[in-house]
Amino acid sequence: MRVKTAAKINLALDVVGRLDNGYHAIESVFQTVGIYDEVTVELCEGTDIEITCEMPQKFADADPIPCDEHNIAYKAARAYLDRNGLEAGCRIHIKKDIPSQAGMGGGSSDAAAVMYCLHKLLGKDIPPTQSIGADVPFFLTGGTAYVSGIGENIRPITDYSGRILVIAKGTEGVSTAEAYGLIDGMEAPAHPDTDKLVNAVENAPDEAYRYFGNLFEEAVHLREVGDIEDKMTACGALRAVMTGSGSAVFGLFTERESAEICAAKLRTDGYFAEVCETVGSSFIEE
């Protein structure tokens, strides 16, 4: 079985506290977007799991992706088979088009796709996925959702699909652990108003962009992020914001022509840049 599996952005992302177990509590609005990896799952004899990866050279150079038991998609397959008590094996092939170290959940999306395919092929329920990756539960549904806790509390909200975006990324990055450490050291940060964003998405979606925001952007201060945002704004973006802990940026546009011009300019300047739209689900079966 082969599926395309979507990336995500955070229309808003706030860190609201630290739990006793050391994890940070977030409040966020997640949104799937039309940049996809392609995941193929094939059942095979025996109990082994094989994984192969195909990716643009620029992705491989920036962040080599493990094609072994360390890949989150492998872990998802192992968890699905073991927790359902299945004596089965599979081959997984991942074709990457979602940039890595971008805050777009590419690995978690691949893991969710593997579980989705195994569910379709074998008919067993998908076990709890939170332990595999914090974003994996969201990708099993996709669309637009208010997400809280450490990512396990997911409440779908009004569909925000069909919005035109440019998504761009440079070479700078910061680890998630480092980004959270920077947030822990902040004094009196300006938190995005996630509640107002949810209300706007549900009642005044054309005004929702006014409440986009990301606390991580205030903490990490990446030069390329600022440069991309400035270029997007100059091309007519209503708002440009970093997603996740970085370092991709999304800009919201009202016209595709302006978005295409912006993406072309960003690519000329050496950035990864694609035009896409917000989408209402994670998976497209092929």
pLDDT of res. 173: 77
pLDDT under 50: residue ranges of the chain: none
As given in the structure block, the two tokens for residue 27 are 């409040």
- pLDDT tens digit string along 162-181? 999 999 999 887 778 888 88
DSSP state of 158: S
Rounded CA gap, 247 and 78, in Å? 30
pLDDT of res. 62: 62
As given in the structure block, the two tokens for residue 138 are 């969201």
As given in the structure block, the two tokens for residue 234 are 């100059």
Catalytic residue list contains 135: yes
Catalytic residue among 4, 8, 96, 231: 8
pLDDT of res. 78: 96
Task: Determine how β-strand 2-18 pairs with β-strand 283-285.
Answer: antiparallel
Catalytic residue among 14, 37, 110, 135: 135
Catalytic residue list contains 8: yes
Phi-psi region of 19 (alpha: psi -120 to 50; beta: other; left: phi over 0): beta
pLDDT of res. 18: 84
pTM of the model: 0.94
Sign of the C-alpha dihedral computed for residues 263, 178, 98 and 27 taken in this order: negative
DSSP state of 186: -
280: Cβ–Cβ under 8 A, 6 or more apart, which residues? Answer: 32, 142, 143, 144, 159, 161
